[in-house]
Amino acid sequence: MKVKRTELTWWERLYLPTLINGFKVTLRHFFSWKRSEVYGDKQKEFTAKTTMQYPEEKWDVPTGYRGAPYLVKDVDEKTKCVSCQLCEFICPPKAIRITPPGDSGVVDREGAEKMPEEFEINMLRCIYCGFCQEVCPEEAIFLLEDYAINGETREELIYNKGKLLALGGADKRAYNHHVQCDVDEGIKKWETKTREAGEQPAFH
């Protein structure tokens, strides 16, 4: 089907009116007394200014913001990811690449069986959709608050396991989630399991 475009008048083709309209909006904001809600506390002391001195000033990231995906650690500062590769599978732009550990399991704690040998996220590819966070059965990957991802080379922007874990850290959000759901035992899943197994009555 062909859609017929409407012809622009010469006045419209001049683009000046549109330009002026744009400036009008800018100026209205410039002289506005109303503070933007987006910048919240950062601007408490100012009365009129709505422009922020980025990057010296940073805004408060609202809850639910989907920033860069990082790997988080558990309360014992140990890796949570078990290399199930579901995020790799679900990732629409194929930004995630996991190297499974092989028979050795590459584990950093007793009771665990499997962790990734390598975990890479290509931040250039990532579209911040949050599927990885949603699909993760271990709650090991979260879209945290980082939004300014930059680097000088493409290689630099492929984050590896070490970097992702360091950036994710023992994340409060992951921890809070467990506490909110009243499963504080869950964050010590391996410990709980080992304890239960020890308490089990032997047969006979």
| Residues in contact with another protein by the rule CB under 8 A | 82-86, 89, 100-105, 113-114, 137-138, 193, 196-197, 199-204
Using DSSP, state whether 95 is helix, strand or coil.
Answer: coil
Strand order in the sheet with 158-159: 96-99, 118-122, 158-159
39 or 139, CB closer to another protein? 139
Q: Closest distance between another protein and the C-beta of residue 157, in Å?
A: 22
CB of 134 to another protein, least distance (A): 14
Nearest-angstrom CA–CA distance, 148 and 106: 32
Largest CA distance in the chain: 96
Least CB distance to another protein at residue 61 (A): 29
Q: How far is the CB of 85 from another protein (least distance, A)?
A: 5
Q: Which is nearer to another protein, 67 or 101 (CB)?
A: 101
- The radius of gyration computed from the CA coordinates of the chain, to the nearest angstrom, equals 25
Min CB(154)–another protein separation in Å: 20
What is the spatial distance between Cα 80 and Cα 89, in angstroms, rounded to a whole number?
18
Closer CB to another protein, 85 or 122, in the complex: 85
| Between 42 and 189, CB nearer to another protein | 189
- Sign, CA torsion 37/38/41/47: negative
d(C-alpha 119, C-alpha 116), whole Å:
6
The pair of structure tokens assigned to 190 is 């391996």
**Closest Cα partner for 94 from 144, 70, 129?**
129
> 107 or 167: whose CB is closer to another protein?
107
